Amino acid sequence: MRPILASALLILASTAAHAAAPEGAKLSEIIAKIEQNPDVEYIDEVDWNDRGYYEIEYVMKNGAEAEIKIDPKTGEAVR
């Protein structure tokens, strides 16, 4: 493999890895904050959206399902 091509592939790989693991608020801290809400029964699913935020689905104690989008850098809801 040519050195320039190998370097380009390494840069792309490191960029993709960085996008998959955002810096900022830790996912565990984000989930803990949601679970502190007394109306939340449990977290059902957590997904990473390619637009740069977590999509967290949870079930309320009354049975209602809800979803929130969280910015990983701030830990705050995305509108």
Domain span including residue 39: 23-79
pLDDT score of 13 more than 70: no
Is the pTM higher than 0.85? no
* 1, part of any domain: no
Q: Is the pLDDT of residue 6 over 70?
A: no
pLDDT digits (tens, 9 = 90+) for 27-46: 999 999 999 999 999 999 99
Question: Within a domain: residue 30?
Answer: yes
Annotate 2-67 with DSSP letters as a single string: -HHHHHHHHHHHHHHHHHHS--SS-HHHHHHHHHTSTTEEEEEEEEEETTTEEEEEEEETTS-EEE
Contact criterion met (CB below 8 Å) for 20 and 70: no
Confidence of residue 76 (pLDDT cuts 50, 70, 90): very high
Give the CATH number for residue 76.
3.10.450
What is the rounded average pLDDT for all residues in the chain?
80
CB 1 within 8 A of CB 35: no
Residue 13 maps to a domain? no
Total number of domains in the chain: 1
